């Protein structure tokens, strides 16, 4: 009998990987914007048409790429962010898997324009379904622009699975909001079908929160600040009287990365115990900063889950931090703490 195992061509391997990372237009938004943040950009513009079906474009003023790097960026497992296995325990960037661009290019038509600040000319690359169609020098602003057109043009099942435009755009807004909230010092804007939806000048965290949720939330915010050798916690929680019956305004960021954690959510809820009726959810937006060696972000391709070396410890610190915040701001009687 002849042997039957073959290595898959890159284009197919990339499409399989894309199935995990690129589920809908919002996933493209997340990956492109995270790349712009990692590139040190101070100004990031997102342009969307038809809820991302026909166009998702991210324009940044970050470091840009050389001609060779621009070409390399579409290869799978190609990254400038880690070099060795040890680096996996010291991750400070949003990306490190080197998979996003290869995945996106395998299921869409992509136009990349990029120029490093020190270069006179930039590079224009057109790619489609994992194939680079053309590469040429071009005049372009310093930084990078990725335009992703006709997402899932070659994956009808995925295209048909997409929900109504309002739903897909809501997902895009969710990703956009998470990134802008984690990067208050960066200028962001969002345009949908030709009109500007967000215009967010750089500022502090409170200003950014107001920019996203509206000025009315200003008086509802209670600051939280707690620092130990192991973890730094800062951000805001909402006054209990403004808690809502529906979830959705709860945010954790670990080392600037938005994550979901029912365990940490429980820690915050337990801090509110006496002051919140059951099944009411307070606003919270909390940044946890922790030595990257103490967490594992490589749990899931979309990186929305992480593992802590000692999650009970994090739970307890978080609960104490929120209680302190609420106590100090007269929301609940100041309680005695061990520290």
Site residues for ligand ADP per CB under 6 A:
31, 35-36, 39, 60, 62-65, 73, 78-81, 95-101, 144
User: Which residue, among 206, 205, 207, 225, has the nearest Cα to 289 in the 3D structure?
Assistant: 225
Q: Which residue is nearest to ligand ADP (CB)?
A: 95
Nearer to Mg ion, 36 or 261 (CB): 36
> Could you give phi then psi for residue 187, rounded to 5 degrees?
-80, 125
Judged by beta carbon, residue 27 or residue 261, the one nearer Mg ion is: 27
78 binds, among ligand ADP, Mg ion, none (CB under 5 to 8 A by kind): ligand ADP
CB-nearer residue toward Mg ion: 58 or 268 = 58
Closest CA to 209 of 237, 181, 228, 173: 181
Among Mg ion, ligand ADP, none, partner that 79 touches (CB below 5 to 8 angstroms by kind): ligand ADP
80 binds, among ligand ADP, Mg ion, none (CB under 5 to 8 A by kind): ligand ADP
Nearest 5°: phi and psi at 215?
-65, -25
From Mg ion, ligand ADP, none, interface partner of 39 (C-beta below 5 to 8 A by class): ligand ADP
Question: Which phi and psi angles does 239 have, rounded to 5°?
Answer: -65, 145
Q: Is 305 helix (H, G, I), strand (E, B) or coil?
A: coil
Q: Which residues bind Mg ion (CB under 5 A)?
A: 35, 95, 100
3-state secondary structure of 224: strand
- Helix extents (H) in 88-155: 100-106
Rounded-to-integer distance, Cα 201 and Cα 308, Å: 34
User: Taking CB within 5 to 8 Å according to partner kind, which of Mg ion, ligand ADP, none is near residue 36?
Assistant: ligand ADP
Rounded CA separation 59/165 (Å): 23
User: Cα-Cα-Cα-Cα dihedral of 159, 19, 148, 160, to 10°?
Assistant: 0
Burial class for 80, CB neighbours closer than 10 Å (0-12, 13-18, 19+): middle
Smallest gap, in angstroms, from Cβ of residue 116 to ligand ADP?
9
Min separation Cβ 296 and ligand ADP, Å: 16
Q: Are 237 and 249 in contact (CB under 8 A)?
A: no
Q: How far apart are CA 121 and CA 240, in angstroms?
A: 55
Nearer to ligand ADP, 95 or 238 (CB): 95
Q: Which does 96 bind (CB under 5 to 8 A by kind): Mg ion, ligand ADP, none?
A: ligand ADP
Kindly tell me which of 99 and 168 has the beta carbon lying closer to ligand ADP: 99
Other CB atoms closer than 10 Å to residue 156's CB: what's the count? Answer: 9
Q: How far is the CB of 187 from Mg ion (least distance, A)?
A: 20
Closest separation between CB of residue 128 and ligand ADP, Å?
17
Distance linking the first and last C-alpha atoms of the chain: 71
Task: From the list Mg ion, ligand ADP, none, pick the one residue 315 interacts with, judged by a Cβ distance below 5 to 8 Å according to partner type.
Answer: none
Would you call 54 helix, strand, or coil by DSSP?
Answer: coil
- 175 makes contact, choosing from Mg ion, ligand ADP, none, with CB < 5 to 8 Å by partner type, with none
Nearer CB in complex with ligand ADP: 31/128: 31
For ligand ADP, give the closer residue by CB, 95 or 240.
Answer: 95
* Rounded least distance, CB 104 to ligand ADP, Å: 8
Nearer to ligand ADP, 137 or 223 (CB): 137
């Amino acid at each position: 009998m002849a042997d039957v195992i073959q290595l898959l061509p890159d284009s197919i391997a990339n499409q399989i990987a894309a199935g995990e990372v690129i589920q809908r237009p919002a996933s493209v938004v997340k990956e492109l914007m995270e790349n712009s943040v990692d590139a040190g950009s101070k100004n990031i513009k997102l342009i969307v048409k038809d809820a991302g079906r026909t166009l998702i474009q991210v324009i940044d003023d970050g470091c840009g790429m050389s001609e060779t790097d621009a070409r390399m960026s579409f290869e799978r497992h190609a990254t400038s962010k880690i070099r060795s296995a040890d680096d996996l325990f010291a991750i400070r960037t949003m990306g490190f898997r080197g998979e996003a661009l290869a995945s996106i290019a395998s299921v869409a038509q992509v136009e990349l324009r990029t120029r490093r600040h020190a270069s006179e000319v930039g590079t224009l690359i057109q790619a489609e379904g994992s194939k680079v169609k053309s590469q040429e020098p071009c005049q372009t602003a310093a930084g990078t622009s990725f335009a992703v057109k006709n997402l899932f043009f070659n994956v009808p099942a995925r295209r048909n699975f997409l929900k109504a435009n309002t739903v897909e755009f809501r997902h895009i807004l969710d990703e956009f909001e998470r990134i802008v909230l984690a990067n208050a010092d960066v200028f962001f804007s969002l345009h949908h079908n030709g009109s500007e939806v967000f215009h967010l000048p750089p500022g502090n965290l409170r200003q950014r929160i107001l920019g996203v949720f509206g000025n009315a939330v200003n008086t509802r915010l209670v600051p939280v600040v707690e620092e130990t050798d192991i973890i730094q916690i800062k951000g805001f929680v909402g006054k209990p009287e403004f808690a809502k019956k529906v979830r959705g305004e709860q945010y954790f960021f670990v080392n600037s990365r938005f994550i979901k954690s029912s365990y940490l959510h429980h820690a915050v809820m337990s801090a509110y115990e006496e002051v919140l009726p059951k099944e009411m959810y307070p606003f919270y937006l909390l940044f946890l900063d922790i030595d990257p060696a103490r967490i594992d972000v490589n749990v899931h391709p979309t990186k929305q889950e992480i593992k802590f070396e000692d999650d009970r410890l994090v739970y307890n610190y978080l609960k104490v931090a929120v209680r302190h915040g609420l106590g100090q701001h007269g929301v609940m009687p100041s309680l005695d703490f061990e520290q």
